[in-house]
Amino acid sequence: MAPIRVQSVLISESVDPRCRSILEENGIRVTEKHNMKKDELIAEIKDYDGLVVRSATKVTSDIINAASNLKIIGRAGTGVDNVDVDAATKKGIIVMNTPSGNTISAAELTCALIMSLSRHVPQAVMSMKAGNWDRKKFMGAELYGKVLGIVGLGRIGKEVASRMQSFGMRTIGYDPITPPEVATSWGVEPMSLEQLWPQCDYITVHTPLMPSTVGLLNDETFAKCKKGVKVVNCARGGIIDEAALLRALESGQCGGAGLDVFIEEPPKDRSLVNHPNVVSCPHLGASTKEAQARCGQDIAQQIVDMVNGKNLVGAVSFNPHPIVMSKSPPKGF
């Protein structure tokens, strides 16, 4: 790979300090400016060769067009739906992420949300703090023997499956790309969505956000599910249609939802967050020390490797398959 000249990098969000130190140790000037408004970022971006973001910075086409020197956008994390990859590609700007750095953390939070839904732990904690001792209200149901439908059998979906199998859940799943025999080798029964919806006690989505996954769970698909199905979205807001989810919660068609992500973050409309059967987090899937350390370190190392013209694959220890976005996105994007 031809070396790329990157002398200055802007970090626009809270990224593990290892990111900065690796870049600086390699002679790259680093500036950290967090919580910039779009106009501020547009004014700032022309001074940098590289930009490091997480999910909150929306790298839209107007930012990319204003980025006269930008050569690389590094996403310290997985989803690149906050980056206009087409606009970047047209300008010859490389977009790369650290796709496996936060897999375990996102999978663990998904499992925590599934367990919270089964035993009402967050609601019971709030009730205790309010001075109550209510043992009837929070009657739960075992996960043992229940069916978990996993939509999106990639890195996170796979890890969620193995963890929930240890609770005795039957795991079924759908993925248009993961071969059925691979899913089967993970203990997941592969099937079509039409077969999956009516069988699930719990559904968890683990796809990227893209046109084909927007509203995967909607009024029509909720109607195909078991009454009282519980759903979890630790992937991206909008994969489960928020208005349809609220309707399903109100009718009882959906018995509970665990939400880490929202279409708008933070959500101005608090109807879902405030619903008694919803447990929610402020996009915490990747918020662990370990995940942040890996993602911060990996993205910096990937930038340095690119500057040095090294072949990226194999260059990063925890992350053997970093993805360099191009016109033809690889699997899963």
Q: Would you say 259 and 280 are in contact if contact means Cβ atoms under 8 Å apart? A: yes
Q: How far apart are CA 33 and CA 87, in angstroms?
A: 23
The minimum distance between CB 33 and ligand HPV, in angstroms, equals 16
Strand order in the sheet with 324-325: 29-32, 8-11, 50-53, 72-75, 94-97, 324-325
Give the helix/strand (H/E) hosting 185: helix 180-185
Q: What is the CA radius of gyration of the chain?
A: 21
Under the binding rule (CB under 6 A), the answer on residue 79 touching ligand HPV is yes
- Residue 152 binds what, of ligand NAI, ligand HPV, none (CB under 5 to 8 Å, by partner type)? ligand NAI
Which pair of tokens denotes residue 196? 């999956």
Under the binding rule (CB under 6 A), the answer on residue 151 touching ligand NAI is yes
Confirm whether 283 is a catalytic residue. Answer: yes
Site string for ligand NAI, 162-201 (x = CB under 6 A): ------------xxxxx-----------------------
The minimum distance between CB 220 and ligand HPV, in angstroms, equals 27
Sole window of 31-39, 120-128, 137-145, 148-156 interacting with ligand NAI (rule: CB under 6 A): 148-156
Residue among 102, 123, 204, 277 that touches ligand HPV (CB under 6 A)? 102
In degrees, rounded to 5, the angle at the alpha carbon of residue 267 between the alpha carbons of residues 323 and 272 is: 110
Which pair of tokens denotes residue 274? 């405030």
Cis bond upstream, residue 267 (ω within 30):
no
The residue annotated as part of the active site, out of 24, 142, 220, 265, is 265
Site for ligand NAI in 225-244 (CB under 6 A): 234-236
Please say whether the dihedral angle defined by the alpha carbons of residues 302, 308, 310 and 316, taken in this order, is positive or negative. Answer: negative
Q: Angle formed by the axes of helices 103-119 and 155-165, to 10°? A: 40
List phi, psi (to 5°) of 174: -135, 135
Under the binding rule (CB under 6 A), the answer on residue 260 touching ligand NAI is yes
Confirm whether 275 is a catalytic residue. Answer: no
Confirm whether 108 is a catalytic residue. Answer: no
Under the binding rule (CB under 6 A), the answer on residue 286 touching ligand HPV is yes
Q: How many residues bind ligand HPV (CB under 6 A)?
A: 11
Q: Would you say 247 and 270 are in contact if contact means Cβ atoms under 8 Å apart? A: no
Amino acid at 258: G
- Residue 256 binds what, of ligand HPV, ligand NAI, none (CB under 5 to 8 Å, by partner type)? none
Q: Which residues bind ligand HPV (CB under 6 A)?
A: 54-56, 77-79, 102, 283, 285-287
Q: Which residues bind ligand NAI (CB under 6 A)?
A: 78-79, 99, 102-103, 106, 151-157, 174-178, 206-209, 212-213, 234-236, 260-261, 283, 285-286, 332
